[in-house]
Chains A and B, each alone.
Chain A
């Protein structure tokens, strides 16, 4: 097809809808048939369709971090096998290389090249989090010093060769996971999803003819690019900076790791430079550079084309600068399991750097976005279980309203209490909002939660990572920081132990309670400017304590009724604001 024969806009839109619909169908198949809770309830997966160059054509709702990253998985397989011509019709590859294309070894891509008349025309991919892949600690160590302690790397492994299953691979996997039945069930679900995606992709090609289809895909990406460019034009040229830090690397507990960005907007280009961030650490707190780049692309999308189903066009104007020596450039054999904490901090830092430039497009820092915990143990019959819990928290205050309470990051769901209790030897003793956890602001940050598990069996252990304890989510434009994440172990006699922000195989005794306490979101704007009525509502609903109302919001309470004394409070706030002389009120200091 020649340049002049561009496809009509109607056909382009039809192809676009068809691809999105196909991706959605893949996601339904994966979710409905997977075995482990992280996939079928937690929906910790992503599926999508890609063109022959490995560019994203369509993705289904799931975890946004993942899909931006699948193209790097396709490219690394191509590199590993020695070129695109090595693919055969009927192949299905697995890959989980944490130095090229995943957060950590537990995220496994299933990738199926799609052929038409012996020509490679695209890829159908399903990535999902497997429960266990061996390693030093079930479900993944948070303190590994080498990847070998985290699990088996399946790098560009051909599970199906020209349609024929390579059972040797399944045997290797089966013998290297603590939960073989679940993992093999999940592989079947991923393969089912890839096959559905392939089938739909071929149907669309058949309908339009491959040349018209490919032309439509090019135009879809161009349209996406145009949309993103229009939104980028709203960010003034300039350089923008922000920083945060991670609590620690899991090993050197007293050493926070800085995450810094320098964002440069120059006409039709945005460059995100992570060079100021920590160069290295002993623990596994790091991510590979491809995944880092895809996270930067994702946050750019959040700020520019948030409501559009993603395609490659939305990312074409983003450059990412990553130094050779960086926690954002993981190298073999370093550990990477909890490296997503660094990536999540990066999202907040990029957002925050642009708060003054585009105040109506950013919210304050979110709770930390992923707080993975695995409570592990065994049933009376000796078989083992992993209870996976990824808790939500408060989201940052928005430019026009308060942040959301208790929300996860993406189309991901928590596991109901009634399911948890019927499946594992635990009893929940509370699951509720965590008062005062939202960062004070003109628009308050959302609240995190308390979720308390009473352990009922002996021999249980805990792997958990709740970063943002030391350096809590920050506010923007005068908003204050929130209360950070933490895990507290409460003994039967009430004695409390606050755990460090990452633990691996922490021993639990029956009668002990694990209290997950997730962070709130940062505040947006100066809390002294929050309407008194809203503060009064927060007090009445128990979202804010009288202490916080007085200290952060400058509110005076009537001594007899306890209600907000409107006139007196207004006067106090005016004098406080005058003292600040235009500067925002002092927040709790960020980590130093």
Chain B
């Protein structure tokens, strides 16, 4: 690495803001920029950020990029005109779906409409068995004539998803080969290449999502690369994946489905990096914005994995970091249901009209309005984006919609609104800890996003978490997280088909095969073989059950001892998660998994450049803030004035651009050497 190529750039393009974080290896200097996102031409916002940073791209060695482009494409419904080729007779699998009706009393429930219209879902005369035996081979003429219909109808992107392709990809590969040869302009997404698991609807849905977003993703990535190169950048561009790793931009162009949940995942990866740097093994990341919060668990230094999720109601079956989502944020609306039932959310005022205090026409009270009434938000202040807050509008909204109906004062109503919001979030954290057999007292909560640090002390207290960290620059944490990733490629193989007994040797062979597949994928993306590692895991269940638990498999040969150990660990996890285990029942293997990781250098934790000097005397003012304990004079601190080692007892407020940290009475805050705010939670406190 030459002297002038010492920088790494993280670019996080979200729905509202584009965040850039640049880290200089040689000086250990870190700078951030936040610019409004530019829908329609997202690259423009990135360039604006680069200009704001006054960054010479020639000095940048690599770029890591996370984007909501894919999700936005799906939400806005402006993906490519997509077709589906599938096994004849199963053209409607995509529309039939799971047939589930989650809102059980709602007669008007609406299933998510399929992304491919029925006229563009065409069947092929081909058939595979579950054992991977070709029952009917692909007929090239049949493929060509079906595809011709699609092309004639203006289809530009095609998903290929046939039955049992996970067991043997031969037919899908043959279809893809024909498409490539005879229709080279078509964009093709092949199900087993993206999601090699059993369950035809979920796998088809994943391939279709990929096909739907691939053409715009390719255009976008090419545009981004072009603009970066035009400005002197000649390094590698990596794209953030839902599994917490990154992939080279050309790989991302082919498989953008892997980027769909990368936005919230960057927060989890930042939490992982922060937990490693500050030597905390178990953390929960909590990212709360205007309409929702994203929660993830990092156990023993690793984010929890998931293998299926949904994007806008569409299933996606790829390995990913488990992110729990809750529709609660600053914009969550408070209302009275029935006679005396106070509800907060899930309806949200969103950004438009936004909370009543924004003065943009919203007249329903929100959590943000309540925080303003309580003095927790600065009544004289403005939010990021320059929105002035109007406390009178907040008071009117809370009075007429909540307080008067419950015979409460406006302040008491506001306290209630915030407490209910906190309780809902506390339950979301319980879901990922206590309900999974994890003890919250062993976790630290990492709080970020605009609305997080104002609520997390209360939430932590409700679930028994003893410490909250508000990281340096919580508003751009995701961008920093992106600089702390590795290249990662996951492979999975179904192993229980055929009903045959797995021999140890088979298992070792299968793992070896997956490991070499994973390695090859990373080497293709430029990773040196020497810096590659692989991790193995296996999905297990009691024979007769359907759902599985994923158990890591240590390196080394697979023998009787390995298998005994696996069973023991499976029983242990089953008992922890589900409150019962049956060690005498036989267990079976369902899928084997390998993750190949190509390690990238990490920037390490940033230490604040300017060391402030004022310490605890740095309170800029005092404001009356309402707590359950009463109206208390509360010192207000500017974050950039707080030196490492500073200790502040609550009640106190720390403000910074884009976020406000609340230290309630009996809570104490210290500033660590990296400038992180560490809040110690007293036992048995409440909002």
Residues of A within 8 A of B (CB): 8-10, 12-14, 16-18, 21, 24-25, 28-29, 31-35, 37, 40-41, 61-64, 181-182, 185, 188-189, 191-192, 195-196, 199, 219-220, 222-227, 230, 298, 301-303, 305-308, 310, 351, 361-363, 391-392, 395-396, 398, 401, 404-414, 416-419, 421-422, 427-433, 449, 452, 540-543
Contacts and interface: CB of A to CB of B under 8 A. Distances in A.
A418 to B, nearest CB: 5
A219 B582 CA distance: 41
A501 B29 CA distance: 75
Contact of B93 (A61, A405, A417): A417
Interface string B334-352: 0001111111100000000
A419 B130 CA distance: 9
Interface string B80-101: 0000000001111101111111
Contacts of B406: 9
Contacts of B342: 9-10, 12-13
A62 B430 CA distance: 21
20 contacts: A9-B340, A10-B419, A185-B545, A185-B582, A191-B580, A196-B579, A223-B339, A306-B105, A308-B337, A363-B107, A406-B92, A407-B99, A408-B100, A408-B101, A411-B102, A430-B89, A430-B90, A449-B96, A541-B118, A543-B118
Contacts of A398: 107-108
Contact of B100 (A32, A362, A413): A413
Interface string B435-446: 100000000000
Given A29-B579, A34-B545, A431-B90, A422 B130 contact: yes
Given A29-B579, A404-B110, A61 B92 contact: no
B544 to A, nearest CB: 4
Contact of B198 (A16, A29, A195, A419): A419
A42 B200 CA distance: 16
A298 B420 CA distance: 29
B163 interface: yes
B185 interface: no
Contacts of A225: 338
Contacts of A395: 107
Contact of A431 (B96, B344, B419): B96
Contacts of B580: 33, 188-189, 191-192, 195
A419 B90 CA distance: 15
Given A37-B546, A306-B107, A541-B117, A13 B341 contact: yes
Interface string B560-601: 000000000000001001111010010000000000000000
B223 interface: no
Q: What are the 10 closest A-B residue pairs judged by CB atoms, nearest first?
A: A430-B89, A392-B99, A226-B338, A10-B416, A223-B338, A422-B130, A223-B341, A432-B92, A40-B546, A306-B105
A301 B198 contact: no
A431 B93 contact: yes
A422 B200 CA distance: 12
Contacts of A430: 89-90
Contact-size category for B: 35 or more
B550 to A, nearest CB: 13
B129 interface: yes
Contacts of A427: 129
B544 A181 contact: yes
A430 to B, nearest CB: 4
Nearest to B419: A10
A429 B109 CA distance: 30
A227 B337 contact: yes
Contact of A540 (B90, B119, B545): B119
Nearest to B343: A13
Contact of A64 (B95, B105, B199, B542): B105
Contacts of A392: 96, 99
B579 A407 contact: no
A203 to B, nearest CB: 9
B423 interface: yes
Contacts of B142: none
Interface string B521-563: 0000000000000000000001011110000000000000000
Contact of A31 (B95, B427, B547): B547
A411 B105 CA distance: 10
B547 A33 contact: yes
B524 to A, nearest CB: 29
Contact of B107 (A40, A220, A302): A302
Contact of B340 (A12, A362, A418, A543): A12
A29 B578 contact: yes
A413 B90 CA distance: 17
A188 B582 contact: yes
Nearest to A224: B338
A417 B163 contact: yes
Contacts of B496: 422
Nearest to A409: B101
Given A192-B578, A306-B106, A407 B546 contact: no
B28 interface: no
Nearest to B494: A422
A405 B119 contact: no
B578 A32 contact: yes
Contact residues of B: prevailing secondary structure:
loop
Contact of B578 (A8, A33, A37, A62): A33
B307 interface: no
Quick one: which of B90, B107, B341, B431 has the most chain A CB within 10 A? B107
Contacts of B119: 540-542
Nearest to A399: B108
Contact of A61 (B102, B199, B343, B415): B102
Nearest to B98: A413
Contacts of A37: 546
Contact of B101 (A17, A410, A429): A410
Interface string B653-670: 000000000000000000
A412 B337 contact: no
Contacts of B130: 418, 421-422
Contacts of A185: 542, 544-545, 582, 585
A444 B360 CA distance: 40
Given A41-B546, A411-B101, A541-B119, A433 B430 contact: no
Contacts of A396: 107
B201 interface: yes
Nearest to B342: A9
Nearest to A196: B579
A14 B420 contact: yes
Given A17-B423, A413-B98, A32 B547 contact: yes
A414 B342 CA distance: 37
B31 interface: no
Given A185-B545, A407-B100, A428-B90, 11 more contacts: A9-B341, A9-B408, A34-B545, A35-B546, A195-B579, A222-B339, A306-B108, A404-B111, A406-B92, A422-B498, A431-B93
Contact of B420 (A10, A405, A432, A541): A10
Interface string B234-256: 00000000000000000000000
A215 to B, nearest CB: 12
A41 B130 CA distance: 19
Contacts of B89: 428-432, 452
Nearest to A43: B100
Nearest to A451: B96
Contacts of B416: 8-10
A8 to B, nearest CB: 7
Interface string B166-203: 10000000000000000000000000000000111110
A308 B337 CA distance: 10
A65 B408 CA distance: 39
A14 B341 CA distance: 10
B103 interface: yes
Nearest to A185: B544
Contacts of B230: none
Quick one: which of B98, B406, B499, B574 has the most chain A CB within 10 A? B98
B338 A416 contact: no
